[in-house]
Amino acid sequence: MLLQGRGPLIYEAGHPVWKKENNRDVVILTRSFAKLNEEKVFKDPVHRYIHVRERLIWDLIGTAEFQRLRRIRQLGTTYLTFHGAEHSRFGHSLGVYEIARRIIDIFKYRHDWDDSETLICLCAALLHDVGHGPFSHSFEKVFGTDHEQYTQAIILGDTQIHRLLEEAGDGFSEKVADVIGKTYENRLVVSLISSQIDADRMDYLLRDAFFTGVSYGHFDMERIWRVMRPAGDQIVFKLSGMHAVEDYIMSRYQMYWQVYFHPVTRSAEVVLTKILHRAKVLYNKGFTFHYQPVPLITLFEGEITLKDYLKLDESVIMYFFQVWQEEDDPILRDLCSRFMNRRLFKYVEFTKEILNHFEELAGAFRMAGIDPDYYLDVDSSSDSPYDLYRPGEEGEKQPIKLLMPDGSLRELSQESDVVGSITGKRRTDHKLYYPKDRVLALPDQSIAKKRICDLLHIR
């Protein structure tokens, strides 16, 4: 950029500084570190407003890779259980950015924060989920993709996001990727984005509670921010804020079991996974689709490029589910119709008894003409609401520490009876999913029907 009559415009810590060098007027504009002339705001139902002051953040939001997150739901198939859960990963990503921004503001006010880390931290907060695809978990199961790898690839690869980050400085994109990958040397920055109590979790708990409409999941986030203190390489919480932290842990526990692991949501996910699996099998067998899944072909062939991956979103996937209801393959047709019209699988507890008779059960399905590869599935949910440090799981599972009035640190479950009672307790749930309607539609004299009903205690 050339400005007449002035020296190079140099931005330092976000503020433009004019300098004259060799009497030349060439201006090198490190535009990314610049502040916007006017603050931009997004209206947000959870945080009221999301404030953007850095040009880089504003530009990142405007990239094609980030805008794509508008077309990916934060909670995948949950909208089939809680119809309000239509919110996108776009809103969540802005929310995580906003929480990080406000926490940093509080830290800065207390002179507890190295300001040279601010922009890296804000970028990492904004971009931490950018590699998510449509219905990530089902895709990962069927195609072996990994959204975390794609997040890294988008930040480091041939993308608009990468180019913007590199404009901010050589190697800047790598630093952002390292924060998200949890290898960044400043652990404080990492723990703001990923730890047992971080900006990501705070946003999704509140946001998902808001959009699903459930009454649990709420906690006093601002109170938590106020009692957060950087201590060496981690963030600790003042003892006086312990009850707000307890509330956060309990809300997380409630949300997992009431929303995230809801069996109807899991059922929708099972059906979705089976559709993708069936489409892949058909493609590899040379099946002629009336509606060729062009954007999915490289995925079926196991060699999808980043460019193709970025073309996928939920609208694309749902289009195929819609039109595949008219394909010639009865399994693909039926599964798509089930998903689109919410005729999901029913479930029973996957007991030891069923496990011991699983082959017999699958045999009875086969005998009844219901392919168990597509119509019988076990899904397991497992979570521990709060965990102590476990070797090999560093970062995610660092225990939460309380800052005692005498300046010492104490692990949360030592001080809190509520948290102590659930610490390290892993709850696991196994359910068996199957199309009950298909079973009940079998003729009464069918031996297969009788066996299935006996094994699954259907009457």
Residue 206 carries which DSSP code? Answer: H
Residues 343-372 that bind Ca ion (CB under 5 A): none
Please state, in angstroms and rounded to a whole number, the distance separating the CA atoms of residues 170 and 175: 10
Nearer to Ca ion, 200 or 377 (CB): 200
Going residue by residue from 185 to 204, which x/- string records binding to Ca ion, judged by CB under 5 A?
A: ---------------x----
Please enumerate in sequence order all residues whose Cβ is within 8 A of that of 340, keeping only pairs 6 or more positions apart, or say none. 321, 322, 325
Determine the size of the site formed for Ca ion (CB under 5 A).
2
For Ca ion, the closer CB: 132 or 274: 132
Q: Given the complex with Ca ion, which of 357 and 397 has the nearer CB atom?
A: 397
Q: Least distance in Å: CB of 74 to Ca ion?
A: 8
The binding track of 146-185 with respect to Ca ion, each residue x by CB under 5 A or -, is ----------------------------------------
* Piece of 73-81, 121-129, 424-432, 439-447 that binds Ca ion (CB under 5 A): 121-129
Measured from the CB atom, is 8 or 385 closer to Ca ion?
385
State the minimum distance, in angstroms, from the CB of residue 256 to Ca ion: 15
Give the C-alpha distances (Å, rounded to integers) separating 100 from 121, 219, 302: 8, 17, 37
Order of all β-strands in the sheet with 377-383? 346-349, 427-434, 377-383
- Considering only residues 267 through 286, tell me which ones interact with Ca ion, judged by CB under 5 A: none
**Cβ at position 92, least distance to Ca ion in Å:** 6
Residue 224 C-beta-side C-alpha neighbours within 13 Å: 24
Instruction: Quote the least distance from Cβ 202 to Ca ion, whole Å.
Output: 10
Helix (H, G, I), strand (E, B) or coil at 279: helix
Is 98 one of the binding residues for Ca ion (CB under 5 A)?
A: no
CB of 298 to Ca ion, least distance (A): 26
What is the spatial distance between Cα 429 and Cα 358, in angstroms, rounded to a whole number? 17
Q: Answer positive or negative: Cα dihedral of 269, 66, 166, 113.
A: negative
Residue closer to Ca ion by CB (options 93, 413) is 93
Residues 6+ apart with CB under 8 A from 110: none
Q: For the CA atoms of the chain, what is the radius of gyration?
A: 26
User: Measured from the CB atom, is 129 or 379 closer to Ca ion?
Assistant: 129
Min dist CB 165 to Ca ion, Å, is 19
Token pair of 292 as six digits: 């060729």
The conformation of residue 260, written as its DSSP 8-state character, comes to I
Q: How far is the CB of 128 from Ca ion (least distance, A)?
A: 6
Q: How far is the CB of 129 from Ca ion (least distance, A)?
A: 4
Binding segment toward Ca ion, per CB under 5 A, in 30-38, 123-131, 270-278, 346-354: 123-131
Other residues' Cβ atoms within 10 Å of the Cβ of residue 329 = 17
Do the Cβ atoms of 433 and 270 come closer than 8 Å? yes
**Token code pair at residue 83:** 């119809």
Beta-ladder partners of 15 = 12
Query: Which residues 124-143 are close enough to bind Ca ion by CB under 5 A?
Result: 129
- Helix (H) or strand (E) run with residue 352 in it: helix 352-356
> Which segments of 199-315 are extended strands (E)?
228-231, 234-238
Q: Which is nearer to Ca ion, 129 or 178 (CB)?
A: 129
Residue partners of 23: CB distance under 8 A and separation at least 6: none
CB of 75 to Ca ion, least distance (A): 11
Residues across the chain: 459
Output the smallest distance, CB 301 to Ca ion, in A. 30
* The amino acid at 330: P
Nearer to Ca ion, 65 or 200 (CB): 200
Q: Which is nearer to Ca ion, 398 or 413 (CB)?
A: 398
Q: Which helix (H) or strand (E) holds 277?
A: helix 263-284
For the CB of residue 207, give the shortest distance to Ca ion in the complex, in Å.
10
Nearer residue to Ca ion within complex by CB, 196 or 267:
196
Q: Are 324 and 330 in contact (CB under 8 A)?
A: no
| Residue whose CB is less far from Ca ion, 57 or 332 | 57
Chain positions contacting Ca ion, by CB under 5 A: 129, 200
